[in-house]
Chain A
């Protein structure tokens, strides 16, 4: 009897579990209908180099874990959140909905954890020089995801509509307003008018729960596809080893399995933080009131906020230009530093990276303390 079922490649037949077993039968049933053996074989052979910096390879998975937590807790919060009555609905979540305070606090801490993990992933990739060709697009999509992660934070921060979130958002958007030529237009577009009002929530909410998730999911798919196709980058010190001394983990079955307990620990850490330090809901925002003292943006915007203070008055445009150049320079890095192993240019980029991290940490600490 002729059928349109695909035949099982001989090498698949050799590597799959025996045909007599349940898993073997299931695998052959699927392969006969979806002939994707080359993809399966590619993934099964994926390796992760073993060296003293291998732990940094786990950061991407950690970012994904936090993102998954955000999706689950975000959907649960959406059940009760009402953009027409933002503060009242969050109060209802915190005070009356069973476990509402816990879910909201986990969402808050996972957001912070995700952005921290993004920074760690970004800088570990940078210092391991994993951005060099042929991985330029992995780097660029990663940078875009980092920016979108911060956009998630900014758009979500306003949604409770409490005093702190209102004034911090107002301060943040006022920085946009100072951009020459287009600043006013952009600020009005973001705010939905000349000031932050409930109309701003009407823009931030769909951005936070629909637009950004869709864009991020698309970019994550691209980013992961690039990683799967090109494999994990090997640092120069590892490449310098004789081939017989290079050791690898299998990605599926070893490396990924070892990440599961780490994700579990991070999940429990989120619950612990939510238990010990639940996210507070401040009094409802009153746009007519004076801003309380000490209003600052969230920690991941503090370095930029503090840096702009170094450019007072009319110099602020210069500060904005300098800050605007930083992401452009980061995008350009893999197109400028291409040499494997690293040459003088590569070493210069590493030193600039160290200076950038030191500056970021110092500015954040300064902003925190000032």
Chain B
């Protein structure tokens, strides 16, 4: 534990990252798909002009200028804000993981930032050269923007997919190529490419919604935009099948079978998010087909509704991708609470040593005290949980007893959903006391240890602390 923990009440650090990232994914995919849309619409206007339909070409360019204005402002302002926001947030939420990504992919990040600068430069040249540049140059700039922005996706995709499927990369070999071109790299890249076309087309619908219902250009623009959305929406589920085939076995099992909950049932958050992504895909397809059939009915509200659908679908997909790594932040390498798997694999010699001796960022505490438990809680639990709020600990521990709490930390790890508990029995008891105190009790670690010892003495002739899987007390599902 080399870093302090960012304790965000109610939301939790992970959800702060997610809120920013989910919006950023929408903006960044639009920033690429919109580039393809600009290029295609430039080509369309050029074809109309060459065919002698100068007034139609001028109207398409007028539409395109509105699109480009919205595109430039939306993607640069919100893209930059959320992009910086993600860096800020992940650095605080998961410093160890961020450090690993920076050190492992230095060259990729450097390339990404150069590409990003180039992308912005071309976009400004395109937009501010609108009145001065020959159309041929504008077509070239739009095409160049699309290619360069797609290359930024290529790079980021390598790093994001690495986090879930590092492939042949290990902390020891640090094989950049194996990590970057990991098993889910290509399916993820193609899946994201289809998604960005879909969002680029929705941007066209948004601008088309501003055209009057009687405007003869409106149906043509709606159908032109739909040509981006409909094929992509058909392709996404197929491409997801390919992506699915590259996921770790544990992820597939988690989706298909759920995760055993305290009451013996299944907690299916990851499945719910996958259903959300699927429902959004179906809804956007249905909505755009309605728009194709009745293009004059497309309004700003209709386009915004469809964009909202895609935003929620992306939320489902991104939550799915994040949960698919559970309990890791880098699959098979680094747990979500910054514990390295190699340290965990070293066994009791590492895991059972007093936890706060290995953690740097905490004040001196009295062993077994409530402060002791509080710091174990912060350093081991708060990267994913909140006391009360998102993934709250209060409801999850409502019916816990001291003995149950003492043993349950190991069971959760054995079920594959939590990192292993780090620390001695004193750490364990102190954390159990802190969790029980969320319900108005006033225990410390010593109280918990006494209760565990007493229970063990009553249960068996041997007073040793049992290590078998405990039977959970009845608890309400959630």
Interface residues of A (CB under 8 A from B): 55, 91, 94-96, 99, 101-102, 162, 249, 253-255, 257-258, 260-262, 264-265, 267-269, 271-272, 274-276, 278, 280-284
Q: In the assembled complex, which residues on chain A have CB atoms less than 8 Å from the CB atom of B302?
A: 258, 261-262
- The CA of A268 and the CA of B309, in the complex, are separated in Å by 6
Partner of B399, one of A101, A264, A275, A283: A283
Given contacts A275-B276, A283-B398, contact A268 B313 (CB under 8 A): yes
Given contacts A95-B261, A162-B476, A261-B291, contact A275 B301 (CB under 8 A): no
- The CA of A255 and the CA of B301, in the complex, are separated in Å by 12
Name the distance in Å between A340's Cβ and chain B's nearest Cβ.
28
User: Do B395 and A280 touch (CB < 8 A)?
Assistant: yes
B153 at the A interface (CB under 8 A)? no
Q: In the assembled complex, which residues on chain A have CB atoms less than 8 Å from the CB atom of B271?
A: 99, 102
Most buried by A among B265, B315, B475: B265
Partner of A262, one of B280, B305, B315: B305
- The CA of A279 and the CA of B280, in the complex, are separated in Å by 21
Q: In the assembled complex, which residues on chain A have CB atoms less than 8 Å from the CB atom of B268?
A: 99, 101-102
- The CA of A282 and the CA of B478, in the complex, are separated in Å by 8
- The CA of A257 and the CA of B315, in the complex, are separated in Å by 26
Q: What 9 A-B pairs have minimum CB-CB distances, sorted nearest first? A: A95-B265, A265-B305, A261-B287, A275-B272, A264-B283, A257-B297, A261-B305, A257-B294, A280-B478
Q: In the assembled complex, which residues on chain B have CB atoms less than 8 Å from the CB atom of A254?
A: 213, 294, 296-297
Name the distance in Å between B298's Cβ and chain A's nearest Cβ.
7
User: Do A268 and B283 touch (CB < 8 A)?
Assistant: yes
Name the distance in Å between B311's Cβ and chain A's nearest Cβ.
9
Residue in B closest to A279 when the chains form the complex, CB atoms:
B478
User: Do A253 and B294 touch (CB < 8 A)?
Assistant: yes
Interface residues of B (CB under 8 A from A): 213, 261, 263-266, 268-269, 271-273, 275-276, 279-280, 283-284, 286-287, 290-291, 293-294, 296-299, 301-302, 305-306, 308-309, 312-313, 315-316, 319, 395, 398-399, 475-478
Partner of A258, one of B301, B316, B476: B301
Partner of B306, one of A99, A162, A249, A265: A265
Q: Is the interface of A mostly helix, strand, loop or mixed?
A: helix
Name the distance in Å between A200's Cβ and chain B's nearest Cβ.
21
User: Do B287 and A260 touch (CB < 8 A)?
Assistant: yes
- The CA of A93 and the CA of B210, in the complex, are separated in Å by 46
Name the distance in Å between A38's Cβ and chain B's nearest Cβ.
26
Q: In the assembled complex, which residues on chain A have CB atoms less than 8 Å from the CB atom of B308?
A: 265, 268-269
- The CA of A264 and the CA of B290, in the complex, are separated in Å by 11
Most buried by A among B264, B286, B302, B476: B476
Q: In the assembled complex, which residues on chain B have CB atoms less than 8 Å from the CB atom of A262?
A: 301-302, 305
- The CA of A203 and the CA of B410, in the complex, are separated in Å by 46
Name the distance in Å between B144's Cβ and chain A's nearest Cβ.
34
Additional pairs, 6, CB under 8 Å, beyond known A55-B301, A95-B264, A283-B476 = A95-B265, A95-B266, A95-B477, A264-B286, A265-B287, A269-B312
- The CA of A91 and the CA of B262, in the complex, are separated in Å by 12
Name the distance in Å between A125's Cβ and chain B's nearest Cβ.
19
Residue in A closest to B261 when the chains form the complex, CB atoms:
A95
- The CA of A91 and the CA of B269, in the complex, are separated in Å by 16
Residue in B closest to A55 when the chains form the complex, CB atoms:
B301
Given contacts A258-B302, A261-B290, A262-B301, contact A271 B477 (CB under 8 A): no
User: Do A96 and B297 touch (CB < 8 A)?
Assistant: no
User: Do B305 and A281 touch (CB < 8 A)?
Assistant: no
- The CA of A73 and the CA of B272, in the complex, are separated in Å by 16
Q: In the assembled complex, which residues on chain B have CB atoms less than 8 Å from the CB atom of A272?
A: 276, 312, 315-316
- The CA of A281 and the CA of B395, in the complex, are separated in Å by 11
Q: In the assembled complex, which residues on chain A have CB atoms less than 8 Å from the CB atom of B315?
A: 272, 276
User: Do B306 and A274 touch (CB < 8 A)?
Assistant: no
Q: In the assembled complex, which residues on chain A have CB atoms less than 8 Å from the CB atom of B291?
A: 261
Name the distance in Å between A336's Cβ and chain B's nearest Cβ.
35
Q: In the assembled complex, which residues on chain A have CB atoms less than 8 Å from the CB atom of B273?
A: 275
Q: In the assembled complex, which residues on chain A have CB atoms less than 8 Å from the CB atom of B309?
A: 261, 264-265, 268
Q: In the assembled complex, which residues on chain B have CB atoms less than 8 Å from the CB atom of A283?
A: 398-399, 475-476
Most buried by B among A99, A255, A265, A278: A265
- The CA of A249 and the CA of B299, in the complex, are separated in Å by 12
- The CA of A264 and the CA of B310, in the complex, are separated in Å by 11
Name the distance in Å between B215's Cβ and chain A's nearest Cβ.
14
